[in-house]
Amino acid sequence: MRLKNSVTIVLSCATILMSGCKTTESMYYYGNYSEAVYSYFKADETPVSQQITILEEVIAQARGKGKPVAPGVHAHLGMLYFESGNNDQGTNHFEQEKALFPESAAYIDFLINQSSGANI
């Protein structure tokens, strides 16, 4: 009888503890961002144009879901645009990253200065 009571108490405590656990949803929308970054650093099969498309879709999906784009998405997309030779779009996305995440301004300004006249 004592064992049964002990088991009941342990199971009750476990149930209470587990009911307090909840999967938290990120406040930012990431979509396929991590796959695009992995693909970039793997320097493999995925062309820059396809990576640009993936990140543009992430931004559109975030808007559709009413969630803010994750930190780094615009910066990474800006870098890809610079690599593809579209410096205006690259600068545009760098500026968006700065506007959304002011703490990144110094680094983004550095990247913009480095990109004027040279690819990142």
Domain that holds residue 80: 24-115
CA distance 117 to 65: 37
The reply to whether 13 falls in a domain is: no
* Residues 53 and 84: beta-carbon distance below 8 Å: no
Residue 2 lies in a domain: no
pLDDT reading at 87 higher than 80: yes
Q: How many helices (H) and strands (E) are present in the chain, helices listed first?
A: 6, 0
72 lies in a domain?
Answer: yes
Helix (H) or strand (E) holding 28: none
Comparing 74 with 33, the larger pLDDT belongs to 74
Residue 102 belongs to domain with CATH number: 1.25.40.10
Only one residue has tokens 């999906």, namely 61
Torsional class of 68: left (φ above 0), alpha (ψ -120 to 50), beta (otherwise): beta
Please check whether residue 77 lies inside any domain of the structure.
Answer: yes
Tell me what the mean pLDDT of segment 77-96 comes to.
94
pLDDT, one tens digit per residue, over 7-44 is 455 555 444 544 555 556 789 999 988 888 887 778 76
- Indicate the residue type of 64: G
Does residue 70 fall inside a structural domain? yes
In a domain, 64, yes or no: yes
Number of domains in the chain: 1
